[in-house]
Amino acid sequence: MSIAVYPGSFDPITLGHLNIIRRASALFDEIIVCVMVNSSKRPLFNRAERVELIKRTIARFPNVRVESSEELVVKFMKDRGAKVIIKGLRAVSDFDREFQIALVNGKLDKSIETLFMPSSEKYTYLSSTAVKEMARYGANLSTFVPKEIIEDVIKKVESEGLMIR
């Protein structure tokens, strides 16, 4: 059975992330979307909330599940028998950063491979950071995040006092 892990902070999950999940789910028997901790970011949603949001958006994919982890991704993968890390790339700047991480992961575990998937053209501009900023200004989020979680994003921005009117 081929198992791949798609790690990220997913704060929140975007239509670009969902596009990578859909495409990767056609290539592997199982995809594990892993909500990770990024120490350089201050998330809007806590890990449990992000897992719940992702669960609602991936329900249509029978071979995709979501988990979260605070450990190194290679340890997480080894414990689940996964051999491939999926990483979506929007621009060359993403590649520079992700390539370095892939090299480190390869040093930690030589059996791990990283598969870089270019973003679909219509999502190359899209990031969770951009979604949060647009939500702060009350923009229509329907072309940025899955419909299942639009209200959650709006409510969270409002409840955190981040809305700009």
**Lookup: tokens for 40:** 């350089």
41 is catalytic: yes
60 is catalytic: no
Kindly name the residue from 69, 128, 132, 156 that is annotated as catalytic.
128
* β partners of residue 8: 35
* Distance of alpha carbon 54 from the chain centroid: 9
Half-sphere exposure of 77 (CA within 13 A, CB side): 24
40 is catalytic: no
Kindly name the residue from 17, 50, 87, 132 that is annotated as catalytic.
17
Kindly name the residue from 41, 97, 107, 155 that is annotated as catalytic.
41
Pick from 125, 123, 122, 131: nearest CA to 157: 131
Kindly name the residue from 23, 56, 83, 90 that is annotated as catalytic.
90
| Cis amide linkage into residue 43, ω under 30° from 0 | no
| b/e burial code for range 106-143 (CB count within 10 A of at least 16 → b) | eeeeeebebeeeebbeebeebbbeebbebbbeeeebee
Please list the active-site residues.
17, 41, 90, 128
